[in-house]
Structure 1
Amino acid sequence: MNKERDTSAASSAVAKAAGGRGYHHGDLRNGLLEAARAILEEETLEALTLRAVARKAGVSHAAPYRHFPNHEALLVELSIEGFDELREAIAEAAKAQGSETDKIAGIGAAYMRFVAARPALARLMFGGQLPNRDQFPALGLKADSIGTEIGAALSDDALGLAVWAAVHGLAMLVLENVIDLGQRRSGLHVLPTRSEIILRSLFSTRRD
């Protein structure tokens, strides 16, 4: 009986040392990334520190360092996760039947839905908050996969690059509030529909 109590006490101590929620090894990493994304979208990039992530996740201040040696490593992982989600959204949109223009419009709408739902993450993925991108080859490969996915969906790499440039440029102009597609009054949720209209206008002269 004493041995069982000792084992139980030791397990509790380990859970407390890990931060109080008793995360399993893999769960801790996912929990930290989830907390980081929440801070990024609900607050600001400046508020996204490893200490803030630990506090949000309910773990000790030392816990994040088990998976992310520094702040930049955390931002890189968030970006990689974002690129994977965006690529999957594009691949799903590309499954829809229709003409080439329909497919371009659908891909553009999927891209804009991602940006509208995760504006701060989109800025992080493509912006200047990661000045040392060349030190993280995986990040570059993930970014390249977006253009590759669009090109494959349209069976034309050059067209894929043109579509990516168009929809991404539009997204960034909106996020920086340079142009108004209705988001100033109605919010970012209007972007998918508005972007479809613009992309159809841009690419409808191609023969479907």
Structure 2
Amino acid sequence: MTEETSPLRERLIDVGTELVLTEGSAAVGLREIARRAGVSHGAPRRYFPTHQALLSAIARRGFEDLAARFEAAVADPVSARGQLEAVSRAYIRYALERRGMFELMFRHDLLDSASQAPGGPRLRESTLPLLRYAAELVVRCRGERSAGGPGPAEPPPAVTAAALWSNLHGLAQLWAWGSLPLALGAQGLGDASDEEQRDRLIAAVLDAHLGPVPS
């Protein structure tokens, strides 16, 4: 059995994941994880030579979970626009339900550091496929919208996907911090449920980057 599939390695990631979800990534340390896993303080370094390597392994668990949610979200919608809307909702829900993990997952400044083991897996290997998937949906959405003829010149799909992702990520953070609910309430738009308000915001984000759904 290799180290990569070691039950102890998986146990350490399990413990680290629980710590991130309950106490945030700042609480995750090799010694604390070893203590909670009931192993010696030096045991985690057999699999994770640095703190960043452990955090990256934990974050990849988050990406696996998010990818599974995306797959479930697109099981029903037929159109690309419907699938992108469903994925956007899943993204926001994940951000609000698993805040500690969500905040960790996109810290490439921390998790892709040069101090990781040479040749080891980097977090970008989990992040980039999601962005490529979003870009593919953008291409399909444009195709659906312009079926009757070519539309105006637009940014490359990857640029639109990145802008859309940035918008959704900001939406998730501002909602989690209470800023968006406060702003909407102050504008007299707080009459709907939280989920209904978020759905309105998601629809506005997609309209801003892809254009409104043709009537």
TM-score, normalization: structure 1? 0.70
| Kept in 2: contact 1:91–1:153 (CA 8 A) | no
Q: CA deviation at 1:33?
A: 0.6
Name whichever of 113-122 and 99-108 sits farther off: 99-108
Q: CA deviation at 1:107?
A: 0.8
Query: What's the secondary structure of 2:70's corresponding residue?
Result: helix
Counterpart of 1:179? Answer: 180
Distance 1:110 1:132, change over 3 A: closer
| Kept in 2: contact 1:40–1:48 (CA 8 A) | yes
Listed one character per residue, the Cα deviations across residues 55-85 of structure 1 (whole Å, up to 9, x for unaligned) are 2122222221111112111111112222232
Q: CA deviation at 1:99?
A: 3.9
Q: CA deviation at 1:169?
A: 1.8
Match of 1:152 among 136, 139, 142: 136
| Kept in 2: contact 1:50–1:61 (CA 8 A) | yes
Counterpart of 1:207? Answer: 214
2:125 equivalent to 1:141: yes
Match of 1:131 among 106, 110, 118: 110
CA distance in 2, matches of 1:160, 1:123: 20
Name whichever of 194-203 and 139-148 sits farther off: 194-203
* Count of matched residue pairs: 176
CA distance in 2, matches of 1:193, 1:148: 28
| Kept in 2: contact 1:32–1:53 (CA 8 A) | yes
Counterpart of 1:34? Answer: 14
- Which runs of 5 or more structure 2 residues have no equivalent in the other structure? 141-156, 184-192
| Kept in 2: contact 1:31–1:57 (CA 8 A) | yes
CA distance in 2, matches of 1:194, 1:30: 39
Q: CA deviation at 1:178?
A: 3.4
Counterpart of 1:72? Answer: 52
Counterpart of 1:163? Answer: 164
CA distance in 2, matches of 1:112, 1:141: 22
Distance 1:112 1:124, change over 3 A: same
Listed one character per residue, the Cα deviations across residues 146-165 of structure 1 (whole Å, up to 9, x for unaligned) are 21122234544345334322
CA distance in 1, matches of 2:195, 2:8: 34
Query: What's the secondary structure of 1:203's corresponding residue?
Result: helix
| Kept in 1: contact 2:73–2:87 (CA 8 A) | yes
Distance 1:169 1:113, change over 3 A: same
TM-score, normalization: structure 2? 0.68
User: Which has the higher Rg, Structure 1 or Structure 2?
Assistant: 1
Distance 1:43 1:203, change over 3 A: closer
- Which runs of 5 or more structure 1 residues have no equivalent in the other structure? 1-24, 183-189
